[in-house]
Structure 1
């Protein structure tokens, strides 16, 4: 029978509850337990797919096509278990499920209420995601005291009562702020947070106390006294320069032992050697490169969380410190691309909407013309294809119908917008809901031999997607004649998955690639990702070549 660890948060959000939960899961997995993780999100959106990255951050995508909270990305980076649709659900999904049951008459005419119907449905969803595992860590989004989180907390309380003895643990993460003017840490916010949790019937077994520094023993004793939590279960979680130090931090303070003792589990000792090796590689790089990421959400790096981590993973596996600068593509439309000259490689990430697109197209042109290693992801591939169509293939005003519905050369479009009748391109625009209209999840494609993609992946690529617009099939032959290499197509619709520039000939380039999928979703610190590792190696080669050129 699966045992449960519920992770809750207090005082303020963005304290790293997901990282802490994933780190604990990593320790338990290192002790031989089969572990999974579940994220409960209190917002009423059915999923984060239509939410602004400015407000919610990145949307993570699973192999089975679920658009989920970015914390599931942390889960996959810390443990070997792959996440699926059952690992993340929202208030919106719960209410949608209950309402459908009510419409079908499954409640036999009863008045449908938050308790017991909504809370029972939450428990059903939790059990569904936890089935088949030794331990399921369940992270409850939001903070204690939020009205939106109350049904989830009540469901967790009920589940703990219904489960057999020694089957549930509650871990509460809270803030211990340092007040600079007073020169001391303040424990009162944590005391109030725990008090609020106890008011609804949940008594934490361990506290994770977030602060910008290690919490002294006297403060830990004070928190223990006023929170009714054993002093050894008051865990200090201070700021570190890399999240991959957190598993060792929690293990050194015995959090996994506290959890295992409470759950009556006796697994082998933890083996965190892989995390020690990763941290050593991060702290002792042998080389250094600088890359720029040209995007439209540069003010909030949470919007590119998986991408940033994937680049860092590549740095680990190339013994390299990767410095990342974030440049606003909209500003580049007015300031120009000269600022790109100092970078060893250029990356253009995905995104939606017209804002800043011309800046991204100009970035792709700069990388092509100046032979700078370029990686375009999703929209980053599309802008590279548009740029090539305009300036190499001679397709006047080539564009995407996402940005210009009336463009005369729609080299990027919805599949439903193109069809060939008597050699003429006909545009057809169909309106539909934004949610659930994208190509989502993992897809496998064969790779053209002799290409850069084949050097990186081999014969086959399987990656995750999240996009609506595609490279227009009606233009691919013309683009290939102009010198573009299409190195992978989907097996059925023959849609462009990977494009690149050749290494020889008129348009030769040392390393230039665009991919329609999101490879960052499958990168982990343990294994890295072959595409990002190749990209950083290309950046290193470019840096060395430029150094030789300057010294000549």
Structure 2
């Protein structure tokens, strides 16, 4: 039977619960345990699929087509365990399910209430699909005391009673702020946060304390005294030089040992952390560096491209170089002349145009594609980035008004809305003007690669499976124009109807993909496309 670790946060948000959960799971894995991490999100959206990147950051997509919280990306990158739809739940999805059941009459006329109906649904989610696991880590979004998260905290209180002794542990992450005027760390916010959690019926077994300054033994002892835990169960958490050093840092402070002790499990050996030591060494001791220009539209929100940022770092790890990312607002390129664009892009060793939605900044992205094509700079287009590369290719072939129907009616629809496609579950259909949420081509799809293509040599295979999230597809009617200009379709859907990859064989490195390879990249297993792209950027850096 799986044991449960419930992870809550207090004082303020954005302390790093997801990273802590991922690091703890990695440490348990390093001890030979089988783990899975789940995220409970208190917001009323059914999923983050329709939420703005400016508010929520990126939407992380799983193989089975779920649009989920970006923390699931941390989970996968640190454990290598592929996330599933059953690993992320929101208040909105729970209430939607309960209301649908009530309308069907499933509750046989009973009054539907938060307790027991909502809490039972949360508990059922936590316990679903946990066969053959040693530990299930459940992260509760938000901050303890928020009205939105109360049903989730109540559910884990009940679940801890249901599971019995030694089957669950509560880990609470709090802030120990440093007051510069007083020159002191203050433990009172942590004491209040733990007390708030206890007032809801959940006792914290391990307390993780985020702070700017080292936490003195006297402060650890004070927190332990007032929060009713051993001093060894108060774990300091300072900023690390790299997020991939966080598992090592938490192990050094004893987090994994204290969690196992709270379960009553004897710890008689050290975990094998060789993998993380090698990764940290490669990140902190690079043998060179490259600069990648990312021409996008969500420049003010670092989390909007979280997986992309990490995948570029992984490409650097594979090549033992530091990757400097220059975030370039595509809108600025729309108003600049060629000389200004050249001045910005010329120092770049590689140009990447990421995914996104909407017309804003599109001409700037096309300008970035054109620069990379004409100047032989390594180029990587992802999702919308591939579509912009195709539009630029058709325009270069003489069809100057080539565009996409995503931006409005056009007489030259190089990219158009996909209305139906085949999946393992049968034919999927979409209608323009229908619901926005969950209506894209989502999740893992197979692609066939050309036998002598650049991408087949990069993958070392002629068949791949990658994750998608988009509504529009490149129109194969423009294939002759593109091929005449040197841009070839090197990856197609198995039935040959949907372009998945384009490339320029006569270019140093020019690849566009309809999917999101960044979602499957890991520090210990960099995605081959990102590893190859950064390798090309290294070669470019020697020419500049």
Q: Who is 2:426 aligned against?
A: none
Tell me, yes or no, if structure 1 residue 275 matches structure 2 residue 282.
Answer: no
Q: Deviations over 1:84-105 (max 9, x none)?
A: 0000010011111111221222
Tell me, yes or no, if structure 1 residue 5 matches structure 2 residue 8.
Answer: no
Q: Deviations over 1:255-286 (max 9, x none)?
A: 21221122233475311111011111111111
1:464 Cα deviation after fit: 0.5
Structure 1 CA distance, aligned partners of 2:148 and 2:496?
Answer: 43
Structure 1 CA distance, aligned partners of 2:292 and 2:236?
Answer: 35
Alignment of 1:381-530 (within 5 A): 381-391=386-396, 393-403=397-407, 405-416=408-419, 430-458=432-460, 459-492=462-495, 494-503=497-506, 509-530=507-528
Residue aligned with 2:335, SS? helix
Q: Who is 1:112 aligned against?
A: 112
Structure 2 CA distance, aligned partners of 1:445 and 1:244?
Answer: 31
Q: Identify unmatched segments of 5+ residues in structure 1.
A: 419-427, 504-508, 547-552
Structure 1 CA distance, aligned partners of 2:240 and 2:329?
Answer: 28
Q: Who is 1:170 aligned against?
A: 170
TM superposition score normalised by structure 1: 0.94
Root-mean-square deviation over aligned CA pairs: 1.5
Q: Who is 1:56 aligned against?
A: 56
Label 1:417 to 1:332 Cα distance change in 2 as closer, same or farther (>3 A).
farther
* Contact 1:87-1:129 within 8 A present in 2 as well: no
* Contact 1:213-1:239 within 8 A present in 2 as well: no
Q: Who is 1:309 aligned against?
A: 310
**Size of the alignment, in residue pairs?**
530
Q: Who is 2:348 aligned against?
A: 343
1:253 Cα deviation after fit: 1.9
Residue aligned with 1:132, SS? coil
Residue aligned with 1:395, SS? coil
Q: Deviations over 1:391-447 (max 9, x none)?
A: 2x21131001111x22110101112399xxxxxxxxx98311111210111111110
Structure 2 CA distance, aligned partners of 1:292 and 1:445?
Answer: 28
* Contact 2:212-2:239 within 8 A present in 1 as well: yes
1:129 Cα deviation after fit: 4.2
Residue aligned with 2:443, SS? strand
* Contact 2:316-2:534 within 8 A present in 1 as well: yes
Residue aligned with 2:110, SS? coil
1:131 Cα deviation after fit: 3.5
TM superposition score normalised by structure 2: 0.95
Structure 2 CA distance, aligned partners of 1:372 and 1:127?
Answer: 50
Q: Deviations over 1:459-489 (max 9, x none)?
A: 1221100111110122223322332211001
Q: Identify unmatched segments of 5+ residues in structure 2.
A: 422-429
Higher alpha-carbon deviation: 12-21 or 219-228: 219-228
* Contact 2:444-2:466 within 8 A present in 1 as well: yes
1:499 Cα deviation after fit: 0.5
1:164 Cα deviation after fit: 2.4
1:80 Cα deviation after fit: 2.5
Structure 2 CA distance, aligned partners of 1:443 and 1:380?
Answer: 19
Structure 1 CA distance, aligned partners of 2:261 and 2:10?
Answer: 25
Q: Name segments (4+ residues, structure 1) moved above 6 Å.
A: none
* Contact 2:4-2:169 within 8 A present in 1 as well: yes
Structure 2 CA distance, aligned partners of 1:359 and 1:263?
Answer: 55
Structure 1 CA distance, aligned partners of 2:23 and 2:528?
Answer: 24
* Contact 2:67-2:438 within 8 A present in 1 as well: no
Tell me, yes or no, if structure 1 residue 537 matches structure 2 residue 535.
Answer: yes
Q: Who is 2:425 aligned against?
A: none
Q: Deviations over 1:129-174 (max 9, x none)?
A: 4333110000000000100000000000000011122100000001
